[in-house]
Structure formats: C-alpha cells, structure tokens
C-alpha cells in the first residue's frame, strides 16, 4: 500500500476538495481550501468540461456498478478504472462528481500510480445508500424523460423546464446542492436545477450543457441549429419565466448574466 498511499494523498485532496466544495450555490461563498502543492492546477475542472465525454461516462458507469456491488468500501479499493495520466484521472474525478453521480451520499475518489498509468481508487461510508440514491434519481429522471418521448426537441426542452420549475423549490438555507436533492427531495440551490435539466435533456438525446458564471450556473440546449438558454433557478425565485429558452443573442445581451462572466 505504501506505493499507493503517498501519491493518493495529493490527488485525493485535489479531487475531493475541488469537486465537492466548489459546486455553484447561487450566492454562497465557497472557498476550497487546498493545501500545499494541491493549489497547483492538475487536470481539467468541471467548468472546462461542459460537453459530454463518452469515455468518462463509460468509466463512471463501471465505477457505479462496482459501488453498487460492494458491501464495504471503508478502505480504499482499486476500481479497475485506469488512465494514462494523473491529469486524466483528476479530470475524470471532477466529471464524475459533477455530471455522472446523481446521489447525495459522499463518494471519495483518489488517483494512485501504477507504472506509467493512473488508477482510480474509491472509498464510501455507505456504498449501498450511494448506489440506491443514484439509481432512484436516475429512474425518476428516466421516467420524466420518457414522458416527453413523442415531443420534438423544442417541446421537450420546454417540458423539462416546466417540470423542474414546478417541482423544485430553491433551498434558501443553501444546504442542498445535488440532483438528488432537487429531483427526490424537491429542494436545491442552482446546481440541482442545472443538473436535473442537463440530465433530462441528455437522456433524451439532446445536446445540453451547463453554463457557469461567478457563483451561479444555468443551462443551454441546442435546438433548431442554435443555443437556447434556461435559468430555471432565477425564474423560479422571481416567479417568472424570463429566461425560459432565451435565444443566444438575447442571453448575451442580458446584463444580469453577462455581468457574471
């Protein structure tokens, strides 16, 4: 284990602190406390990976199956997910937390080296709960996505917006920030809104991305040859639909969001 433990410490801190504690919270001031060499950027951050990454998603599903079938992950476990570089492993970790895992129970990832490759290790206090939360959220979102199966893309984008608008309240205490919080518990800060909409669109084969600005996030979806923007969080808070599928040129001119860039 000595060959794993030392490289793991640096990369584990970078993965966990950056991924879990830098989620957009719509006004919440979050300052990741990275230590020493962890302050040096390694890999890509979630904000730089807004497009889908099929390789990471295949690896993420492999990781989720391992968690689902593990009774005890109190000790670090080799997941069998291997990347050529530590940078790729760190990037995958951030992508997994932000775009793949739909649960709330914390899953800790670390990168250790094996020869010239980087290996992902996992630890989780309650793997059964983590897997159950993920699958519960996934099943609910698949059910909602299936309800829009006969619609065109514009209709689907509007339908998903309306479902989230009607079923998710903003968490004024800013303690809930996951897609599980939004979809299952019905309350979240902006990332729950963004992730729920993102996942619904992607489950339906649509191109959808998160958009980050300051300490906030919203969505854009590709419809009829152009981007349409949604900020369901702020619309819900204002009781309006001001930013429902707003065309790109209007969003770029919107002083509220352009000021966050």
81-93 residue pLDDT tens = 999 999 999 999 9
Among 77, 95, 128, the domain-final residue is: 128
Residues 24 and 68 in one domain: yes
Residues 68 and 104 in one domain: yes
Residues 155 and 226 in one domain: yes
Contact 193, 205 (CB under 8 A): no
Q: What is the pLDDT of residue 22?
A: 37
Q: What is the pLDDT of residue 41?
A: 56
Among 93, 128, 163, the domain-final residue is: 128
Q: Is residue 35 part of a domain?
A: yes
Among 99, 128, 157, the domain-final residue is: 128
Q: What is the pLDDT of residue 62?
A: 97
**Which of the 8 DSSP states describes residue 39?**
G
What CATH number does residue 185 fall under?
Answer: 3.10.620.30
Q: Is residue 21 part of a domain?
A: yes
Rounded Cα gap, residues 234 and 239, in angstroms: 8
Question: What is the domain count for the chain?
Answer: 2
Q: Which residues pair with 223 in a beta bridge?
A: 226
Residues 92 and 120 in one domain: yes
Q: 30-58 as b/e, with b when 16 or more CB fall inside 10 Å?
A: eeeeeeeebeeebbbbbeebbeebeebbe
Q: Is residue 218 part of a domain?
A: yes
Q: What is the pLDDT of residue 259?
A: 76
Q: Is residue 27 part of a domain?
A: yes
Is the pLDDT at 207 greater than 60? The verdict is yes
Q: Is residue 37 part of a domain?
A: yes
- Mean pLDDT score across all residues of the chain: 86
For residue range 53-65, what is the model confidence (pLDDT) as tens digits? 999 999 999 999 9
Is the pLDDT at 14 greater than 70? The verdict is no
Residues 9 and 121 in one domain: yes
Residues 185 and 119 in one domain: no
Contact 254, 231 (CB under 8 A): no
Residues 103 and 187 in one domain: no
Is the pLDDT at 45 greater than 50? The verdict is yes
Residues 121 and 12 in one domain: yes
**pTM, full prediction:** 0.85
Asked which of 3-12, 65-74, 86-95, 206-215 is least confident by mean pLDDT, the reply is: 3-12
151-191-109-10 Cα dihedral, nearest 10 degrees: 140
- pLDDT > 70: what percent of the chain? 84
Rounded Cα gap, residues 83 and 69, in angstroms: 22
Token pair 């670090």: residue: 76
Rounded Cα gap, residues 101 and 99, in angstroms: 6
Q: What is the pLDDT of residue 33?
A: 27
Rounded Cα gap, residues 107 and 20, in angstroms: 10
Contact 17, 62 (CB under 8 A): no
Residues 108 and 153 in one domain: no
For residue range 100-111, what is the model confidence (pLDDT) as tens digits? 999 999 999 999
Query: Across residues 228-233, what is the average pLDDT?
Result: 97
- pLDDT > 90: what percent of the chain? 77
Closest Cα to residue 209, out of 46, 26, 20?
46
Q: What is the pLDDT of residue 191?
A: 95
Q: Is residue 236 part of a domain?
A: yes
Is the pLDDT at 113 greater than 90? The verdict is no
Structural domain that includes position 88: 2-128
Q: What is the pLDDT of residue 261?
A: 63
Is the pLDDT at 29 greater than 80? The verdict is no
Residues 168 and 109 in one domain: no
For residue range 140-171, what is the model confidence (pLDDT) as tens digits? 999 999 999 999 999 999 999 999 999 999 99
Rounded Cα gap, residues 48 and 140, in angstroms: 28
151-182-168-51 Cα dihedral, nearest 10 degrees: -50
Query: Across residues 128-133, what is the average pLDDT?
Result: 98
Strands (E), the chain: 73-83, 108-114, 117-124, 169-170, 187-188, 208-213, 216-223, 226-230, 246-247
Residues 228 and 187 in one domain: yes
Q: Is residue 137 part of a domain?
A: no
Is the pLDDT at 256 greater than 80? The verdict is yes
Q: Is residue 23 part of a domain?
A: yes
Residues in the chain, overall count: 261
Contact 113, 86 (CB under 8 A): yes
Residues 204 and 233 in one domain: yes
Query: Residues 6 or more apart from 258 whose CB is under 8 A from it?
Result: 252
Query: Across residues 190-201, what is the average pLDDT?
Result: 97
């Amino acid at each position: 284990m000595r060959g794993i433990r030392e490289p793991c410490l640096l990369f584990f801190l970078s993965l966990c602190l950056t991924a879990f504690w830098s989620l957009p919270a719509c006004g919440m001031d979050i300052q990741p406390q990275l230590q020493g060499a962890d302050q040096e950027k390694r890999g890509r951050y979630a904000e730089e990976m807004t497009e889908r990454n099929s390789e990471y998603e295949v690896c993420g599903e492999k990781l989720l199956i391992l968690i689902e079938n593990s009774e005890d992950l109190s000790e670090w476990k080799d997941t069998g997910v291997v990347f050529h570089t530590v940078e790729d492993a760190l990037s995958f970790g951030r992508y997994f937390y932000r775009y793949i895992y739909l649960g709330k129970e914390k899953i800790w990832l670390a990168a250790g080296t094996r020869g010239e490759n980087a290996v992902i290790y996992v630890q989780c206090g309650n793997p059964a709960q983590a897997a159950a939360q993920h699958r519960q959220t996934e099943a609910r979102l698949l059910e909602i996505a299936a309800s829009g199966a006969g619609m065109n893309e514009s209709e689907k984008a509007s339908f998903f917006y309306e479902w989230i608008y009607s079923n998710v309240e903003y968490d004024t205490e800013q303690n809930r920030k996951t897609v599980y919080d939004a979809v299952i518990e019905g309350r979240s800060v902006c990332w729950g809104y963004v992730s729920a909409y993102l996942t619904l669109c992607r489950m339906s084969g649509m191109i959808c991305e998160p958009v980050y600005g300051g300490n906030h996030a919203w969505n854009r979806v590709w419809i009829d040859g152009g981007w349409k923007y949604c900020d369901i969080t702020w619309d819900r808070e204002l009781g309006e639909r001001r930013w429902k599928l707003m065309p790109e040129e209007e969003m770029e001119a919107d002083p509220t969001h352009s000021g966050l860039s």
